[in-house]
Structure 1
Amino acid sequence: MPTKERLAEFIATVERNEHVEAIERFYAPHASMQENNAPPRVGRDVLVAHEAAALARLSKMDTQPAVMVLHDGDNVVIQWVFLMTNKTGETLRFEELTHQVWEGDRIVRERFFYDSRQFG
């Protein structure tokens, strides 16, 4: 179970747009991420590579302060809003809920819930 301080440190890292660093620092080596009902990606190295590639497709990522955080034992739910600017200068507002399962001070499983129609 993450401490309140560890969770605040994670959120602050994401809010600073240090997404790859957040995965490196806060996810277990065997962690998984899942987009809605897609198959999960497994392994921290895979997660880091996927995040780096996603960010490389953008010219700017602006993470807004966490809208809401629910913390109950090993379970954390965060509501995020991201302003993502693509290479042509168009900015997209993207909102999601993420459910995380922690073991100790590391995230072992994360699932994102969002409306894919946000992508146009």
Structure 2
Amino acid sequence: MPSRETVEAFVAMVESNQHDQAIAQFYAEDATMQENLNAPPRQGRDTLVAHERAVLARAKTVETECVRPVLIDGDTVVIHWIFRFEFKDGSKRRIEELAHQTWKGDKVWRERFYYDPAQMKVEA
């Protein structure tokens, strides 16, 4: 079960747009991430870090906001995120999602994101 301090340190790192470093530091080696109900989930911390770095490489700017409160109940953590991306091609996206996490100790073990897929459309 993660401490509130550990979860807050994770949130602070993500809010400072160190998304890939947050995964490297706070995710278990055998962690998985799943987008909505899409299958199969991405597996393994190294794969998760590589995927995040690929997304960040396409972005010109990223703004990350945690909408509080962060919900913690035992090994379950739910975080409401808002991401604002401006990509190098000039396109923009605002993505609002809930991250449902299962932690093992002080590491994220399973994570599923819930969001409206219509948000993936490019904004004018």
Give 1:86 deviation, angstroms. Answer: 1.1
Q: Are positions 1:60 and 2:55 aligned together? A: no
Q: Which runs of 5+ in 2 are unaligned?
A: none
Instruction: State the alpha-carbon separation in 1 of the partners of residues 120 and 111 from structure 2.
Output: 21
Give 1:91 deviation, angstroms. Answer: 2.7
Q: Which runs of 5+ in 1 are unaligned?
A: none
CA-to-partner distance for each residue in 1:39-84, whole Å, 9 max, x for gaps?
A: 10010000001000011111111112x1131100000000000110
Instruction: State the alpha-carbon separation in 2 of the partners of residues 105 and 119 from structure 1.
Output: 31
- Residue 41 of structure 1 corresponds to 42
* TM-score under structure 1 length normalisation: 0.95
Counterpart residue type for residue 11 of structure 2: I
More deviation, 15-24/55-64: 55-64
- Residue 86 of structure 2 corresponds to 85
Instruction: State the alpha-carbon separation in 2 of the partners of residues 96 and 17 from structure 1.
Output: 16
Instruction: State the alpha-carbon separation in 2 of the partners of residues 44 and 24 from structure 1.
Output: 7
Counterpart residue type for residue 14 of structure 1: V
Give the aligned CA root-mean-square deviation in angstroms.
0.9
* TM-score under structure 2 length normalisation: 0.93
